[in-house]
Amino acid sequence: MELNELNEKLAQIQSQIENNLAEIKSSKGIFEYRKKVMDSKEGKIGSLMKEMGKLQKEQRAEYGKRVNEIRNWAQAKFDALDAKFKEQEQKARYAAEAIDVTLPAKKLKKGYLHPNTQVKNQIVDIFGSMGFQIYEGNEIETDYYNFTALNIPQDHPARDMQDTFYLSPEFLLRTQTSAGQIHVMESQKPPIKIISPGKVFRSDDDATHSPMFSQMEGLVVDKGITLCDLQGMLDVFVKKIFGEDTRTRLRPSYFPFTEPSVEVDVSCFQCGGKGCKLCKGTGWIEVLGAGVVNRKVLEGCGIDSNVYSGLAFGIGIDRIAMLKYGINNIKMLFESDLRVLEQIDD
């Protein structure tokens, strides 16, 4: 074969590549076409070196140079087109993926803590700021902790005040968080200053009672603790919960585990004490039970009642929530009706 002939063939290949490239419109197309052209067995350029053998020796160097030239020419063409297409493709992708940051966001629906949880958190915060620690009691208790150790022995009439769910003759669902007092006094030495929030259970069911409800127990044991300390603490508590103008009043009452025992009323935060529907015309609303810890209870827990005295209180969390948020049926606290719950966000 003559060099001329080959040179002509090279020129043809070159123009054919030019024509083919004019048809290609993407970097992927360039990638595939480049592979085909450069293939060492079948590629138009890749296989050119195979022709070398058909030439006379003196012509080979010249031919090799020509082939290299055309290969470099093709590479440069492919590279340039590849860069051009890639840039176009990236621009198109960015345009397609563009986000309109000026669109208004979808409104997130905000969740609410349950009113009981809100009240519980508020009470914990108030007593926490007075230095109380939290004790978490057990929902399943023994008869001893729930009753006997709280000076409510078997056959004591006070047992009838609380209709109890017994699990067995010994075990029961606690009817009062007061059971936790005993665990604390058995395991800690005075000074003791705890609150204990939790669920309690009684077989009771009407507009203001539910078989399961929540209480917050309070217990302070130290030297020289008196009913005055109780009143001082509760004054702070009710002002924070019901408003600065709220006053307290202690009325004599009876609980087996306290002596003396009191019922704590607050001045009606709706009418300010004049008398309204909420306070049933009395100007006062009963909010909790409390008292000085009965010596018998202290002694039963191994605390010397000649050295130490204590005070205790039991707050009904549901009751406070109902009063505070104007809920007149305790069932509303358990129905999970969002129309009610969404209104309470303290």
Choice between 151 and 178, CB closer to ligand DAH: 178
Please give the Cα distance from 235 to 244 (Å, whole number).
Answer: 10
Q: Are strands 284-293 and 140-142 parallel, antiparallel or unpaired?
A: unpaired
Site residues (CB under 6 A) for ligand DAH, limited to 75-134: none
For residue 255, CA distances in Å to 152, 158, 235, 293, 314 come to 9, 8, 21, 10, 11
Q: Binding residue for ligand DAH (CB under 6 A) from 85, 255, 269, 308?
A: 255
Minimum distance from CB of 321 to ligand DAH (Å)?
A: 16
User: Is the Cβ–Cβ distance between 322 and 333 less than 8 Å?
Assistant: yes
Site residues (CB under 6 A) for ligand DAH, limited to 299-318: 312-314
Please give the Cα distance from 217 to 82 (Å, whole number).
Answer: 77
Choice between 291 and 300, CB closer to ligand DAH: 291
Return the residue nearest ligand DAH (CB atom): 314
In the chain the first and final C-alpha atoms are separated, in Å, by 98
Choice between 284 and 313, CB closer to ligand DAH: 313
Minimum distance from CB of 252 to ligand DAH (Å)?
A: 12
Please give the Cα distance from 95 to 73 (Å, whole number).
Answer: 33
User: Is the Cβ–Cβ distance between 30 and 17 less than 8 Å?
Assistant: no
Minimum distance from CB of 297 to ligand DAH (Å)?
A: 10
For residue 331, CA distances in Å to 135, 327, 339 come to 28, 9, 14
For residue 275, CA distances in Å to 263, 271, 279, 285, 328 come to 19, 6, 6, 10, 18
Please give the Cα distance from 175 to 229 (Å, whole number).
Answer: 27
Site residues (CB under 6 A) for ligand DAH, limited to 140-199: 176, 178
Draw the binding track, 261-300, toward ligand DAH (x: CB under 6 A; -: no contact). ----------------------------xxx---------
Minimum distance from CB of 100 to ligand DAH (Å)?
A: 60
Choice between 214 and 258, CB closer to ligand DAH: 258
Q: Verify binding: residue 258, ligand DAH, rule CB under 6 A.
A: yes
Q: Binding residue for ligand DAH (CB under 6 A) from 217, 246, 269, 317?
A: 217
| Residues making contact with ligand DAH (CB under 6 A) | 176, 178, 217, 255, 258, 289-291, 312-314
